[in-house]
Homo-oligomer: A and B are copies of this chain.
């Protein structure tokens, strides 16, 4: 997968969290995700399809990072994963994919976005089954790490 496909996701994640939650995130080194499985407690997943591309993106948060984002965006102090968190993770996923999509369209990729799905369950893991390479993007914030995975073919 080309850098021009990955970068829009990297930038969009940082933009959305910075703008919406005042949470600065620093991308780590992208890696090809093989056995290296990101586990999360709450994940937003969104499918993408278009004339010349099909794939999926997931953002996996540990519970404490998801709660911190809710606190910063809505002011709610939560310690359990509930509808407020899944709504917010769905919204963040939508915004990240939307931002990346706009950038990708400027680069000549014609992408349609599906609607997001949010998965909850302690320590679940996600496997993308697109034929393309899976890229794992780790992000560090002052409240913990989270992971973005992109797979486009």
Q: Which residues of A contact B (CB under 8 A)?
A: 39, 43, 45-50, 54-56, 58, 83, 86-87, 90-91, 93-94, 112-131, 151, 153
Contacts and interface: CB of A to CB of B under 8 A. Distances in A.
B130 A126 contact: no
Given A48-B47, A56-B47, A119 B116 contact: no
Contacts of A119: 43, 45, 119, 121, 124-127
A6 B45 CA distance: 22
A50 B87 CA distance: 23
A41 B15 CA distance: 34
Contacts of A131: 115
Contact of A90 (B83, B90, B124, B127): B127
B128 A117 contact: yes
Contacts of A123: 121
B153 A115 contact: yes
Contact of A47 (B114, B118, B125, B129): B114
Nearest to A40: B121
A129 B117 CA distance: 6
A97 to B, nearest CB: 10
A94 B47 contact: no
Nearest to A151: B115
